[in-house]
A and B are shown apart, each in its own frame.
Chain A
Amino acid sequence: MEEIVRELTEAYGPSGAEGKVRELIQERIAPYVDEQRVDALGNLIACKRAGASPAVGRLMLAAHMDEIGLIVSYIDEKGFLRFHPMGGVFPLTLLGGRVVFENGTMGVIGIERWQEDKIPPMDKLFIDVGAASPAECPVKVGDIAGFHRPFFAQGTRWVGKAMDDRIGCAVLVEFLRQVKETIYDLYVVFTVQEEIGLRGAMVSAFAVEPDVAIAVDITTTGDYPESDKMAVELGKGVAIKVKDSGMIAHPGLRRHLVQLAEKAGIPYQLEVLRRGTTDAYAMQVSREGVPAGVLSIPTRYAHTPSEMVDQRDVRTAVDLLLHLVAQPMELGG
């Protein structure tokens, strides 16, 4: 699985420019799905029908392809690029960083003269691609840059940029590779533009009309120095979401996931996230409402160029999904 995680995290795909990630995934899942289509916003909707018919229902699984990025807003007379964030990007994570554009142009993030003890506002920063003027500049206003960082594995940890949410995409790709038995019609959706407002999930949930929906995304942890007090830790298993700032996971679905994990001996943790949400929020409030939940991959240093996950947690997420689709759910009232 390490290979697909490396490939996906290193691929270019900020919100609004997910094409390369989508192509990668299309190729990898082609042997394992009945059909694939790309919708109006660029979501990749893959369908794998239930083994025996009729299916007991329609299950939507979603992971987002987009990563946070920077959109070029202006090229000044000397060829420096000003930008705005696409998604939750913070100035501290940018200083001295390297970014890459869709056409392969690399850039360095510089900062105007600034008092070092305060956090600089975003408009003090700029990207330097080595051009001396707008005419010489290999990128245009509106082009979007993503972080540029290599993946590495060390011990049980995997580190890369865009673990949020390429790790979720990797889980779904691996799940599709391994799934033999499903009693649900599966709609595995690789969504776009989650980081700028859950936009892909909103429209794809409307189209798919699932009976149940589960997002696979990251969550933060409480296990590094002076971190937020949060129960989730790396290596303790897939996190089953109870609540985040956008939604309360359907309690019946959450209980079902917990029961499945316990019966199968799959390590899991319960997650309450103070700030942040996922595609599941958009799926939950689609049309007349959908019972929705989330499987989260615990991640340290989220929204930085070096997000860290534990392989064991990732594999338990795949295992739990494999168990989920082989059994009926009684979600209760």
Chain B
Amino acid sequence: MLLQRLSDAFGVSGCEEEVRNILAQTVRPYVDELRTDSLGNLIAIKRARAGVERPVRVMLAAHMDEVGLMITRIEKDGLLRFQPVGGIDPRLFPAKRVVIGKERVPGVIGVKPIHLLKPEERERVTPVEQMYIDIGATSKETAEKRVKVGDYAAFATRFGPHGLEGESRLVRGKAFDDRAGCAVLAAVLQGDPYPVELAAVFTVQEEVGLRGARVAAYALAPDVAIALEGTICDDLPKEKDQSPVTRVGKGPAITLADRSVVADRRLVRLLVDTAEQAGIPYQFKEPALGGTDAGAIHLTRAGVPSAALAVPSRYIHGPASVLSLDDLEHTIALVRAVLPRLQDWPEPKV
């Protein structure tokens, strides 16, 4: 399954090549133009079907990069120092397995065993600067044979089904933020042309500042844009009656506003109306949290009306996320259904 290949691929921000190659190979038969820009964004143009005059240009963006680590220093004893790339809770690091570089050198983020912890140490969060990765090298020289300063490391998670076989539609893997969005976009590109022109961008470096999307949007100057994401889902039981942000199994999550963008209200209404007419479940993401490529896209040039649609994913920005294939498929369905309704933009028929 494409999501599996994408999830297992190595693609920390700034090093998205492996993911890009899988996507380029997957979408090439279905698009009219395919190119990689100077930052590494994979840009695919799928022209509108014949007979559409002056088609509306719709930019769909999904980011290829995942959060991870970068090796900053190799110590005399062969241990590696690192820093996070993108936002990761430092409490997630101790004892995790990682893979480093294209060779996928296996490592373990070292941690003091519980037997040796003083009571006050159990309360503290170890600063990242004091952590290290153990790749089994006993000296700097032997370590340098396999890794270099500047190499990237990703969590060593393998994709798999989650829950009771035959019953569960859940899957588990790393980087669903945003390989889920990439899988949605790749699926949307397959099949017949739409009555709009698709400028599909598999972007780079979203996790470190929406950087790929910014330059791609400037180059493409779309009429309207939708970012496709794997988003925060905190739907486990809580003591206090609090928002879960999104819920697994309740359908694609529509952004109303997050920290990076106030979604265009007309686009939101169109997404809601399309979902209701097509009988596709949907939910709203809790406002004012997180950010997406839409944040960069909507502010390019003279402004681009933008929205964001996401697959709810538990535990993102960590080693293992969980999502529902039902939500993934409903997200694909919703995007496919809304695209034809954008052909009259900015006068969509709601």
Interface residues of A (CB under 8 A from B): 15-16, 39-41, 43, 71-74, 76-78, 82, 84-86, 141-142, 193, 196, 199, 202-204, 206-207
Asked if B102 lies at the interface with its beta carbon under 8 angstroms from chain A, I say no
Within 8 A of A (CB), among B231-245: 241-243
A151 to B297: give the CA distance in the assembly, Å.
38
User: For residue B242, which residues in chain A have a CB less than 8 angstroms away from its CB?
Assistant: 74, 76, 82
User: For residue A72, which residues in chain B have a CB less than 8 angstroms away from its CB?
Assistant: 287
Central interface residue in A15, A74, A76, A77, by most chain B CB within 10 Å: A74
CB distance from B219 to the nearest CB of A (A): 15
CB distance from A23 to the nearest CB of B (A): 15
Contacts A142-B256, A142-B257 given; does A74 touch B302 at CB 8 Å? no
Contacts A16-B262, A141-B256, A193-B262 given; does A71 touch B287 at CB 8 Å? yes
Within 8 A of A (CB), among B290-311: 298-305
CB distance from B244 to the nearest CB of A (A): 9
Interface residues of B (CB under 8 A from A): 241-243, 256-257, 262, 264, 284, 286-289, 298-305
Asked whether A73 lies within 8 Å of B243 as measured between CB atoms, the reply is yes
Asked whether A203 lies within 8 Å of B286 as measured between CB atoms, the reply is no
27 contacts between A and B (CB under 8 A): A15-B262, A16-B257, A16-B262, A39-B302, A40-B264, A40-B302, A40-B303, A71-B256, A71-B257, A73-B289, A74-B242, A74-B243, A84-B287, A84-B288, A84-B289, A86-B288, A141-B287, A142-B256, A142-B257, A142-B284, A199-B299, A203-B300, A203-B301, A203-B303, A206-B301, A206-B303, A207-B302
Having A73-B243, A77-B241, A141-B287, one finds 9 other A-B pairs with CB under 8 Å, namely: A39-B302, A43-B303, A72-B287, A142-B256, A142-B257, A142-B284, A204-B302, A207-B301, A207-B302
Question: Of B286, B287, B298, which is within 8 A of A41 by CB?
Answer: B298
User: For residue B287, which residues in chain A have a CB less than 8 angstroms away from its CB?
Assistant: 71-73, 84, 141-142
User: For residue A43, which residues in chain B have a CB less than 8 angstroms away from its CB?
Assistant: 303
User: For residue A196, which residues in chain B have a CB less than 8 angstroms away from its CB?
Assistant: 262
CB distance from B285 to the nearest CB of A (A): 9
Minimum CB distance partner of B301 in chain A: A206
CB distance from A37 to the nearest CB of B (A): 11
User: For residue B262, which residues in chain A have a CB less than 8 angstroms away from its CB?
Assistant: 15-16, 193, 196
User: For residue B286, which residues in chain A have a CB less than 8 angstroms away from its CB?
Assistant: 73-74, 141
User: For residue B299, which residues in chain A have a CB less than 8 angstroms away from its CB?
Assistant: 199, 202-203
User: For residue A206, which residues in chain B have a CB less than 8 angstroms away from its CB?
Assistant: 301-303
Asked whether A40 lies within 8 Å of B241 as measured between CB atoms, the reply is no
A202 to B304: give the CA distance in the assembly, Å.
12
User: For residue B264, which residues in chain A have a CB less than 8 angstroms away from its CB?
Assistant: 40
Minimum CB distance partner of A74 in chain B: B243
Minimum CB distance partner of A40 in chain B: B303
